[in-house]
Amino acid sequence: MSQLSTRHLLGIKDITADDIQLIFETADNFKEVLNRPIKKVPSLRDITIANIFFENSTRTRLSFELAEKRLSADVINFSSSNSSVKKGETLIDTVNNILSMKVDMVVMRHASPGAPHFLSKNIQANVVNAGDGTHEHPTQALLDAFSIREKLGDVAGKKVAIIGDILHSRVALSNIFCLQKLGAEVMVCGPITLLPKHIDSLGVKVEYDVQKALEWCDVANVLRIQLERQQIKYFPSLREYSLYFGINKKMLDRLDKKIVVMHPGPINRGVELNSDAADGEHSIILQQVENGVAIRMAVLYLLAGAK
Ligand code: CP
């Protein structure tokens, strides 16, 4: 297989295991390019990409922009905070104005679940979802699974515990779909108030005791407490959350095996993850960020080919 089964990347739910393997194999090649003295290839020389971000981002925005520049695409960046969205312009008007500048691809982050899906039905350009509300964050899941494959040799058969605020997390849902498509076993762990009702219907194990989750897994993917999405209190205080669900080096050292610790970022240090665990020997957090560029290069390159 040399082409994706889709012309947009809206979610992991919509793509196949073969698509994911193709993205990984392509990312392997781009990772090799990124380690060369000259890190640029001409693959997307005639392509113009708009990064339109209606929500804050550091890693995803910079990683997409770098991936696009490494592929020699022309890049324009839009952030809603300093745009005419503030004057009441609609999403579709904003995007159509950007597209009239002859844009081939749109990378979009939006606070509303389904916004990239809506966009893909209304424009000709390829659409990549860079995170839509609490729904999906497909390139994050791809780079997470790619990092597990790199560290442990394969994703199939591995046990991955996703720990933290599952309820408000787009990373959790995309990870569940991606890991299961690749043959991993998935557990979710957190306070009962931060686990969606009926999450077990997705075929995941559910655990409320973080030490037991760590004992079960090969990989702990620790998620951020998303205070900006919490309109009510889901736990008494951050101190209590940290006491019962925070992960530190002592907990990792207590295990009779060495597990891998991941986090998509940004980290609330001292809340879901202590610095001695985030920066310690178990952590591959910065490798995740590094792999994000190769994965996004692969996604953009393959979508451009699917045109
Ligand atoms: N992991 C992630 O999506 O980070 P940003 O919000 O900084 O893009």
As a whole-number percent, the residues of the chain with pLDDT over 70 amount to 98
| Dihedral of alpha carbons 250, 252, 258, 264, sign | negative
pLDDT-wise least confident of 8-12, 94-98, 227-231, 290-294: 227-231
* Cβ–Cβ < 8 Å for 217, 160: yes
Q: Is the pLDDT of residue 307 over 50?
A: no
Query: Which residues of the chain form beta strands (DSSP E)?
Result: 48-53, 74-79, 105-110, 126-132, 159-163, 185-189, 205-207, 219-222, 260-262
State which of 57, 64, 288 you would mutate to test the pocket of ligand 1, scoring each by most atoms of that ligand within 8 A of its C-beta: 57
Contacts of 289 (CB under 8 A, 6+ apart): 59, 63, 265
- What pLDDT score was predicted for residue 1? 67
User: Is-same-fold flag (12-137+289-305; 139-284)?
Assistant: yes
Q: Where are the domains of the chain?
A: 12-137+289-305, 139-284
* Backbone φ and ψ of 223, nearest 5°: -105, 155
Q: Residue range 4-31: average pLDDT?
A: 98
The number of the ligand 1 atom at minimal distance from the alpha carbon of 58 is 7
- Of 109-123, 218-232, 264-278, the one with minimum mean pLDDT is 218-232
Mean pLDDT value of segment 229-244: 83
Q: Over 80: is that where the pLDDT of 229 sits?
A: no
Mean pLDDT confidence for 252-269:
97
Distance 256 CA to ligand 1 centre (A): 32
**pLDDT mean over 213-219:** 98
The mean per-residue pLDDT over the stretch 167-175 comes to 97
Does domain 12-137+289-305 fall under CATH 3.40.50.1370? My reply is yes
pLDDT at 94: 87
Residues 6+ apart with CB under 8 A from 286: none
Write out residues with Cβ below 6 Å of ligand 1.
Answer: 57-60, 131, 137, 140, 264-266
Note the CATH architecture for domain 139-284. 3-Layer(aba) Sandwich (3.40)
Give the torsion through C-alpha atoms of 251, 253, 257, 260, to 10 deg. 70
